């Protein structure tokens, strides 16, 4: 099965909700109108399809010049460990290679840490920086 990657321009609530449900991100799928607005206000969203099924996506926000923030990068668990997440990250890093800061906030699992380090990210401490967040 060949995966295809393309910009996700037209929000399809059913397929997006199904993807977020597959990874258990309830703060997104429990508020579909808010999720739709988030997509509409994103800088860029890249989707991965297996046949015609949405199986992964990466959504970024920012100005596209000095900062890009990877807000979401998710792959349906049935399609994980097949290079989809890596390809989504690679395409975003290539598209925004001239941007000064590419950042993200994620969980503390070793699996997640290994994934992001594997695609070229470093822990913020490696840059002799501190990161701050306010999360509701």
Task: Give a yes or no: residue 57 inside a domain.
Answer: yes
Please, which residues bridge with residue 47 across strands? Answer: 6, 57
Domain-embedded: residue 35: yes
Total domains present in the chain: 1
> Digits of tens for pLDDT over the chain (136 positions)?
689 999 999 999 999 999 999 999 998 899 999 999 999 999 999 999 999 999 999 999 999 999 999 999 999 999 999 999 999 999 999 999 999 999 999 998 999 999 999 999 999 999 999 988 888 8
CATH number for position 47: 3.40.630.30
Rounded Cα gap, residues 123 and 136, in angstroms: 23
Phi-psi region of 81 (alpha: psi -120 to 50; beta: other; left: phi over 0): left
Judge whether 121 lies within some domain: no
Q: Give the residue numbers spanning the domain of 19.
A: 3-104
């Amino acid at each position: 099965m060949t995966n295809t990657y393309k910009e996700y321009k037209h929000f399809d609530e059913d397929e997006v909700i199904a993807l977020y449900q597959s990874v258990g991100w309830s703060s997104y799928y429990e508020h579909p109108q808010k999720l739709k607005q988030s997509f509409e206000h994103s800088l860029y969203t890249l989707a991965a399809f297996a046949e015609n099924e949405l199986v992964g996506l990466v959504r970024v926000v920012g100005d596209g010049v000095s900062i890009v923030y990877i807000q979401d990068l998710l792959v349906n668990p049935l399609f994980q460990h097949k290079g989809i997440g890596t390809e989504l990250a690679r395409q975003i890093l290539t598209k925004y290679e001239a941007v000064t800061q590419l950042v993200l906030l994620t969980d503390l699992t070793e699996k997640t840490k290994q994934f992001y380090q594997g695609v070229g990210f470093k822990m913020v401490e490696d840059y002799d920086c501190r990161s701050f967040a306010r999360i509701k």
